[in-house]
Amino acid sequence: MGVQDLERIESKIDRTVAGAVIVSDNIGGIMFKDMAEVMEFSKLLAVAGAAVPKHLRGNVGACLAVTIQALEWRMSPIAVANKSYEVNDRIAYESQLIHAVVEARAPLKQRLRKKYSGEGPTLQCFVTGHFKGEVDPIEYESPKFSEIKTKNSPLWTSDPRQQLWYYSVRAWARANCPDVLLGIYAEDELEGRSGADHARDVTPKPDVAKRLTGSKGRGFSEAHVDANTQPQGEAPKPEPEIIPPGATQQLDLAADVENEIANKKRAVENAETLDDVTALVSATTDYLKQAKRTDLLADFLSVAKAREKKLTTKGAAA
């Protein structure tokens, strides 16, 4: 981002609107009264230089996204910006920030509790959270340290207990209150999906409204999913090949996919609305197609169908 680009952005700042932004000791130190002020603040953030990370400098759109996310979390936009990263062309956030978001936004009776078991490769973390209005707390048991395949954060080496705590808090939240972290990923989660083995199919697909059926966009059609996941014609059989030592990464990928689907099953089992179920079905279907693991789809759909039936029955009774 050159000087001329920054000057161009700065010239577009509406100083009257920007000057009207209220400084407050609530909600991260800033109060916005309308979207115009949010957009003007994003321009200011984009020309803030060393006050923000490099991936946000001169990038008004990314600054806007981070600012809106901070407002949703009721946190300082500048603090959230400085806990963000660009990974594989996506915005990701530090595990520490994600932990703070869970503690702040999940309807917890008290802060999450942790305990550890084992050492070295057998180290595990147990996270316990107690929702307001519920009698029993909910516990999450992490995989053993040796079973976690993607370990990009330096904390996995320097402070494995701390990083396993972050990992477990994130997994606990995704399983039990997915709305808190919907669409939000940690830096190591996105780094774990890089390279040729994680290439994404970017062929345009029909939008969600066209893929899903049911009144007012709710529910989903198993027949439609089956039709869209069947192989198109018989593919030629691949020639036998010698598998190099590095191919063991594919086994790691398979384990990552299965772990992700296990988390998505727990999320759909705890979905509170039909819309949540629909969104999870859509996202999981796309994810499995991209990962070329549609063999896992039928089992996930059976869990989703059961949850949808339960929510429908509950809604009718109400």
**Looking at the domain assignment, is residue 191 inside a domain?**
no
| 108, 144: one domain | yes
pLDDT of residue 197: 42
Report the C-alpha gap between 57 and 295 in whole angstroms: 43
**Looking at the domain assignment, is residue 190 inside a domain?**
no
**Looking at the domain assignment, is residue 35 inside a domain?**
yes
**Looking at the domain assignment, is residue 162 inside a domain?**
yes
Which tokens belong to 215?
A: 């009144």
| 212, 313: one domain | yes
* Total number of domains in the chain: 3
| 214, 264: one domain | yes
**Nearest-10 Cα torsion for 57, 62, 66, 72:** 150
**Looking at the domain assignment, is residue 241 inside a domain?**
no
| 201, 263: one domain | yes
Q: By the 8 A CB rule, do 102 and 73 touch?
A: no
**Looking at the domain assignment, is residue 235 inside a domain?**
no
| 120, 25: one domain | no
pLDDT in tens, the chain (318 residues): 555 665 666 666 666 765 665 545 566 667 788 888 888 888 889 998 999 999 999 999 999 999 988 888 889 899 999 999 888 888 999 989 999 999 999 999 999 999 999 999 999 999 999 999 999 999 999 999 999 988 888 888 999 999 999 999 999 999 999 998 887 788 667 665 544 444 445 555 555 555 555 555 445 566 655 665 555 555 555 454 444 444 444 545 566 778 788 888 888 788 888 888 888 888 888 888 887 888 888 888 988 888 888 888 877 766
Name the residue range of residue 262's domain: 196-230+246-317
| 126, 216: one domain | no
Which tokens belong to 39?
A: 């957009």
| 128, 222: one domain | no
| 140, 253: one domain | no
H or E element: which one contains 71?
Answer: helix 60-73
- 30-31 and 124-129 strand pairing: unpaired
Residue type, 17: V
| 131, 163: one domain | yes
| 21, 49: one domain | yes
Residue 248, burial from CB neighbour count under 10 angstroms (0-12, 13-18, 19+)? exposed
| 144, 209: one domain | no
| 290, 205: one domain | yes
